[in-house]
Structure 1
Amino acid sequence: MDIVLAPVGGDRFTDSLRALAPEGRLVVLGFTGGDIPTVKVNRLLLHNITVLGVGLAEVLPNDPGYPRRQWAELYPLLADGTLTVPEPTVHDLADAAEALSELESRAVIGKIVLLTRGPGEGAGQP
């Protein structure tokens, strides 16, 4: 892969490094798995790969215009189809266990949305 977004940390981080193509980039977004991984930098050198940390909360106080500039670059790419966002997988709230199972088995690409309104209450709205 050319780019991996890594929000989990732990063993997934190491797997993500292994999955990178030469000159690929791993973007660290967080450590939801709890473990903060370490990087053996020889892997970076041998494959010419980059690990980049992204912490928006650290950027905004010093550069409040940053999000506006980023969207100015991203929006045209989304509008012309160069970048696409997967449609969410939608479940009724009653099927939350099934939704969690799909997450656990990695059967979902993108987001899962649980519908919380029943019939006559604006059903179909996340």
Structure 2
Amino acid sequence: MADTRYTKDHEYIQVTGDIGVVGITDYAQQQLGDIVFVELPEVGRSFGKGDEAAVVESVKAASEIYAPVGGEVIEVNAAIEGEPAVVNEDPTGRGWFLKLRVADAAELGDLMDEGAYRQYVATLG
């Protein structure tokens, strides 16, 4: 079963073993509005925790997507490049951005679990 963790920048990572699926939360897609463009990294690229990993553009703004933990990109969701609206429709399902091979599982401990993330979002008003 996947363990999902969250960042204060509203990215999530669903981790199973040493593989993490990265995307943006439902809160993030609501704040962005209609997503019209997604730029994904190349497979094989490595990121450190907090590095810019992807870009998403909406009718309101462009926003960077940061790597929640360090790792190597092993797959990207090419479907959302052709149909970026999927991110709005199903951000934590079909709208994922990339899969990382997690370099250091200890970095996951710095992220929020679902309960802590819900409390964080509630403080944003």
TM score, norm. by length of structure 2: 0.24
More strand by share: 2
Normalised to the residue count of structure 1, the TM-score between the two structures is: 0.24
Tell me: higher relative CO, structure 1 or 2? Use CA pairs within 8 A at least 6 residues apart.
Answer: 2
Is the helix fraction higher in 1 or 2?
1
- The higher radius of gyration belongs to 1
